[in-house]
């Protein structure tokens, strides 16, 4: 039997080609200058992260990649080994400006923004001030003072929390509109454990939304926001983050197109079903009474009526 | 023999039948089963059946449908014509199993196939017993070399072989490859002509057109050696459930991707929100 | 020098010249970058049924579905103009093709709304909620 070739890892930059689903606003621009991918400090992790400035730095975008093992692209008459799909989506520059304002706040003084939003390690940082929204919206997170023609700013936790609160509400509303599952319980492709109350609660939505915002702010600010939202901190991590194991369940194995058994030959008798993966076996053992199938959540126009407690 | 349907779409299997002779509806009949194209690496496999009234068994001998294995293609054609002409008492049916069906159904079941897959010369008694049970009221005879012992089987064999010959000759490549050189010999992997054709027409990305049975180790080996490596998610059959589950999570996926370009630094303790992990969305630190 | 100052420019002028292209996401990794006879072997053999498309690749049956880009989004294929530049240098990419829909292929399971790729398309709408401007 021939030995299978050993799998070789995809080495640095051997692809030099990317497939990206991009916000049209990043493209529709009549300004001068090419859009640019830059590295900026991630507002939550502090690590270098990839962003995009549109022409003239008018808009800011973040870059995420759908990354799953064993994928490649056919693009026209070519193969691209790297099977990732990039998403270039709008990014609120305020999230990126916040850490610098917070840092400068220790001095307690009002300062001009261009002296605050600066980073030796990430020189592109100062370009953030060029975004349309940056200067017009900074008052959501900072107090403003005008002296002559110059503006000065100082970080305001109070304002920031209010701003973040509005964000959380916006996000929660968006979650309700979509079919995104925010409730507790094991999420699998065909079965979703349904709580006794049957639908995700207000709190579930708030926590989920808070979790999403927390991806863009520091841990300290995240905790302060949680308090501000009057959501108690959950004690065990198990309660906050339901296991995110996504179990891909096949339907019954695809059978051969033809029923070969008609020909009374043992070789074309129905093959036994493919071995179940461990995930499938585990799910098969789980008590599924009380579990709804995934499709029952997708009936059209089922609106979750959120109860005001 | 009109293979029109199969030629129209040779990616699926297809059944061909003659008209049922009237006499076969009123008299007891005997039926022979045989196949053609088990061994070759290309083209379809064909199962053939042939039937006639028991009272006319001897008449088959006059049609000269004896041992089909020793016949040439032309001789088989002629014999099939004889059978066709005898349509007042001989009927037949064929199941043409496309190479695509063979490839996809075999490979999907995960079985590592050997080239001779069907063994009709296996335990004849066992098969005979099984089939007798399955079809009570039928007399089943399973013998090795049945096509040289029983003319009806020989006839079935001829039908099957002729069908296969036609379909191989008339193969309409669905692929947009222009005029394909049809000089592939017998299709048996031992045939040097076939071997040469396989070597010549290997596409490093796609391997072969659907004409070829990918499940056959001949084709597989050539692709592994000369084609670009292709990795499927179910390639590691030995992988235990845990590793498979771990592969699904973000963290171990990073081992497949260079850490300096693309994915977030592996040393990062930051655990993304499940919205992102569930959807396999990761931040990038560079293009 | 930390190396975070390098910038990758996108030659937006190339957007106008870029052609609409068919893109397919395969359920396998092909260890190769370069030209391939996609229309000859793949596109020409795709069968289009009501719920899904089917095709085979290297003898394995695939089941696929077409997905459109989310509202307000366009697909771009970006190509590095100078792939051998070092990480520290400024780089340039061009838009080599565009797409407004893609076809993705599953190995055995029929394409459905629980596929991770389909679910990942939830992201742009949610991004709007997280990053959109907050009213006063």
Percent of chain A with pLDDT over 70: 67
A224, part of any domain: yes
How close does chain C come to B135, measured CA to CA in Å? 34
Of C10, C12, C116, the CB nearest to A246: C116
A300 pLDDT above the threshold of 80:
no
Residues of chain B with Cβ-Cβ distance to C42 below 8 Å are 206
Please answer yes or no on whether C58 and B207 come within 8 Å at the CB atom.
yes
Question: What domains appear along chain B, each with residue ranges and CATH number?
Answer: 3-169 (3.30.420.10), 192-278 (no CATH)
pLDDT value at residue A261: 43
Residue A11's pLDDT band, with cuts at 50, 70 and 90, is: low
Binary contact (B209, C60; C-beta < 8 A): no
**Encoded tokens for A33:** 């200058």
Q: Structurally, how many domains does chain A consist of?
A: 1
Integer Cα distance of A241 and B45 in angstroms: 54
Cβ of residue B2 closer than 8 Å to a chain C Cβ: no
For residue B117, is pLDDT > 50? no
Q: Does B278 touch chain C (CB under 8 A)?
A: yes
Asked if B245 and A274 come within 8 Å (Cβ–Cβ), the reply is no
Find the range with the poorest average confidence among A177-181, A268-272, B263-267, C52-56.
A268-272
Looking at the predicted complex, does its ipTM rise above 0.85?
Answer: no
Highest mean pLDDT among A112-116, A180-184, B114-118, C1-5: A112-116
C126 near B CB under 8 A: yes
Test A178 with C79 for CB contact under 8 angstroms: no
Given this model, what pLDDT does residue B121 score? 52
In this complex, the chains that touch B, judged by 3 or more CB pairs closer than 8 A, are A, C
Is A47's CB within 8 Å of B117's CB?
no
CATH of the domain at A114: 1.10.20.120
Per-residue pLDDT reduced to its tens digit, C94-129:
999 999 999 999 998 899 999 999 999 999 999 999
The CB density around residue B138, as the number of other CB atoms within 10 Å, is 10
Which DSSP letter does residue A189 get?
A: S
pLDDT in tens, C48-86: 988 889 999 998 999 999 999 999 999 999 999 988 877
Residue of C105, A276, A248 whose CA lies nearest to B230: C105
Domain hosting A44: range is 14-258
| In-domain check, residue A178 | yes
Share of chain C above pLDDT 90, in %: 74
- Classify domain C8-131 by CATH architecture: Beta Barrel (2.40)
User: Span B117-146, mean pLDDT?
Assistant: 62
Cα separation of B142 and B37, whole Å? Answer: 20
Has residue A278 been placed in a domain?
no
Bridge partner list, B84? none
Residues from chain B that touch C104, judged by Cβ atoms under 8 A, are none
Model-wide pTM > 0.90 = no
d(CA B276, CA B279): 5
* Between A17 and C89, the higher pLDDT residue: A17
- Closest-CA residue of B relative to C41 is B175
How far, in Å, CA of B107 to CA of B235, rounded? 11
- When pLDDT is cut at 50, 70 and 90, the band that residue B36 belongs to is confident
Mean pLDDT of the region B259-276: 63
3-state secondary structure labels for all residues of chain C: CCCCCCCEEEECHHHHHCEECCEEEECEEECCCEECCHHHHCHHHCEECCCCEEEEECCEEEEEEEEECCCCEEEEEEEECCCCCCCCCCEEEEEEEEECEEEEEECCCCCCCCCHHHHHCCHHHHHHHHHCCCCC
| Position A206 confidence tier, pLDDT thresholds 50, 70, 90 | very high
Please report the pLDDT score of residue A294 as a whole number. 45
Domain limits of chain C? 8-131
Instruction: Give A68 to chain B, closest Cα distance, Å.
Output: 6
Spatial separation of the C-alpha atoms in residues B197 and B188, rounded to whole Å: 11
* Higher per-residue confidence, A234 vs B194: B194
Residue A271 domain-assigned (yes or no)? no
Q: Which two tokens stand for residue C126?
A: 């949610």
Model confidence at B210, pLDDT cuts 50, 70, 90, reads confident
Across the interface, of C32, C119, C123, the residue whose CB is closest to B205 is C32
Q: Scan for tokens 């999570």, then name that residue.
A: B249
Is some CB atom of chain B closer than 8 A to the CB atom of C51? Answer: no
């Amino acid at each position: 039997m021939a030995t299978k070739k050993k799998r070789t890892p995809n080495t640095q930059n051997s692809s030099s080609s990317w497939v990206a689903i991009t916000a049209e606003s990043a493209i529709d621009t009549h300004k001068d200058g090419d859009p640019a991918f830059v590295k900026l400090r991630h507002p939550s992790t502090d690590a270098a992260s990839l962003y995009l400035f549109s022409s003239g730095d008018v808009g800011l975008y973040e870059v995420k990649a759908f990354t799953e093992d064993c994928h490649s692209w056919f693009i026209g008459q070519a193969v691209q080994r790297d099977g990732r799909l990039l998403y270039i989506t709008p990014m609120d520059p305020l999230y990126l400006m916040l850490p610098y304002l917070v840092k400068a706040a220790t001095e307690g003084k009002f300062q001009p923004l261009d002296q605050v939003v600066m980073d030796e390690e990430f020189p592109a940082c100062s370009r953030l001030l060029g975004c349309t929204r940056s200067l017009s919206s900074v008052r959501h997170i900072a107090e403003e003072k005008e002296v002559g023609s110059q503006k000065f700013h100082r970080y305001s936790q109070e304002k920031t929390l209010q701003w973040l609160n509005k964000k959380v509400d916006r996000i929660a509303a968006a979650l309700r509109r979509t079919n995104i599952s925010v409730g507790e319980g094991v999420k699998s492709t065909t079965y979703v454990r349904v709580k006794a109350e049957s639908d995700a609660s207000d709190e579930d939505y708030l926590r989920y939304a808070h979790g999403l915002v927390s991806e863009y702010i520091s841990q300290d600010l995240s905790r302060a926001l949680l308090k501000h939202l009057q959501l108690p901190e959950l004690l065990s991590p198990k309660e906050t983050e339901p296991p995110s194991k996504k179990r891909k369940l096949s339907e019954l194995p695809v059978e051969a197109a033809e029923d070969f058994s008609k020909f009374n030959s043992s070789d074309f008798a129905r093959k036994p079903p493919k071995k179940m993966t461990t995930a499938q076996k585990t799910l098969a053992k789980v008590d599924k009474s009380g579990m709804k199938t995934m499709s029952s959540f997708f009936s059209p126009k089922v609106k979750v009526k959120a109860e005001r407690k | 023999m009109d293979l029109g349907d199969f030629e129209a779409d040779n990616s699926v299997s297809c059944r061909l039948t003659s008209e049922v002779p009237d006499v076969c509806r009123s008299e007891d009949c005997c039926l022979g089963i045989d196949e053609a194209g088990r061994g070759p690496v290309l083209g379809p496999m064909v199962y053939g059946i042939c039937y006639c009234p028991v009272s006319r068994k001897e008449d088959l001998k006059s049609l000269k449908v004896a041992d089909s294995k020793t016949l040439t293609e032309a001789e088989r054609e002629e014999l099939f014509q004889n059978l066709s002409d005898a349509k007042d008492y001989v009927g037949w049916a064929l199941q043409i199993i496309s190479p695509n069906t063979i490839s996809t159904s075999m490979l999907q079941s995960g079985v590592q196939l050997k080239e001779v897959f069907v063994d009709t010369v296996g335990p004849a008694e066992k098969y005979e017993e099984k089939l007798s049970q399955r079809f009570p009221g039928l007399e089943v005879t399973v013998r090795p070399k049945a096509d040289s012992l029983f003319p009806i089987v020989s006839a079935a064999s001829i039908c099957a072989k002729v069908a296969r010959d036609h379909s191989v000759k008339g193969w309409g490549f669905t692929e947009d490859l222009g005029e394909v050189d049809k000089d592939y010999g017998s299709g048996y992997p031992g045939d040097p002509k076939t071997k040469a054709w396989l070597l010549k027409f290997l596409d490093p990305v796609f391997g072969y057109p659907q004409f070829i049975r990918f499940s056959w180790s001949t084709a597989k080996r050539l692709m592994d050696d000369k084609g670009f490596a292709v990795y499927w998610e179910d390639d590691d059959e030995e992988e235990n459930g845990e590793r498979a589950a771990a592969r699904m999570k973000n963290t171990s996926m990073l081992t497949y991707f260079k850490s300096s370009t693309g994915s977030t630094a592996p040393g990062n303790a930051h655990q993304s929100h499940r919205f992102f992990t569930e959807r396999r969305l990761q931040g990038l630190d560079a293009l | 020098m930390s190396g975070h100052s390098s910038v990758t420019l996108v030659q937006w002028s190339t957007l106008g010249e870029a052609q609409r292209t068919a893109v397919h996401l395969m359920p396998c990794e092909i260890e190769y970058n370069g030209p391939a006879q996609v229309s000859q072997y793949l596109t020409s053999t795709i069968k289009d049924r009501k719920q899904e498309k089917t095709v085979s690749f290297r003898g394995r049956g695939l089941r696929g579905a077409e997905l459109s880009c989310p509202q307000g989004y366009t697909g771009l294929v970006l190509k590095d103009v100078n792939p051998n530049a070092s990480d520290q240098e400024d780089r340039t990419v061009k838009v080599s093709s565009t797409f407004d829909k893609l076809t993705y292929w599953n190995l055995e399971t029929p394409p459905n709304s629980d596929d991770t790729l389909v679910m990942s398309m939830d992201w742009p709408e949610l991004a709007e909620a997280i990053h959109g401007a907050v009213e006063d």
